[in-house]
Amino acid sequence: MTIRPSPKPGPVPSPLPKGLVCPKCGCQHFEVLSTRGAPSGAVRRRRQCRHCGRRVTTVERPVG
């Protein structure tokens, strides 16, 4: 009889997708239409969903 160690549990997959999700169709594929910087260091990007064409604006702020 061979005793095998129990497998280590791996990371549990999150039920929520990571990253930006289109509010209209749920797709995660976007193209960047324009990018603008701000004096505070933030970056505004205008993005368009490649599936349905919905446009969204994201603001990226530096951490720290």
Instruction: Provide the whole-model pTM.
Output: 0.67
Instruction: Inform me whether the pLDDT recorded for 9 exceeds 80.
Output: no
Instruction: Inform me whether the pLDDT recorded for 44 exceeds 80.
Output: yes
Decide if 36 is inside a domain. yes
With pLDDT > 90 as the criterion, what percentage of the chain qualifies?
A: 59
Domain that holds residue 47: 30-60
Say how far apart CA 60 and CA 14 lie, in whole Å: 23
In which region does residue 26 sit, left (phi positive, over 0), alpha (psi from -120 to 50) or beta (all else)?
A: left
Decide if 55 is inside a domain. yes
Q: What is the pLDDT of residues 11-27, one digit of tens each?
A: 766 677 688 999 999 99
Average pLDDT of 48-63?
94
Q: How many domains does the chain have?
A: 1
Q: Which of 37, 36, 30, 38 is nearest to 56 (CA)?
A: 30
Decide if 51 is inside a domain. yes
Decide if 18 is inside a domain. no
Decide if 41 is inside a domain. yes
Say how far apart CA 53 and CA 31 lie, in whole Å: 10
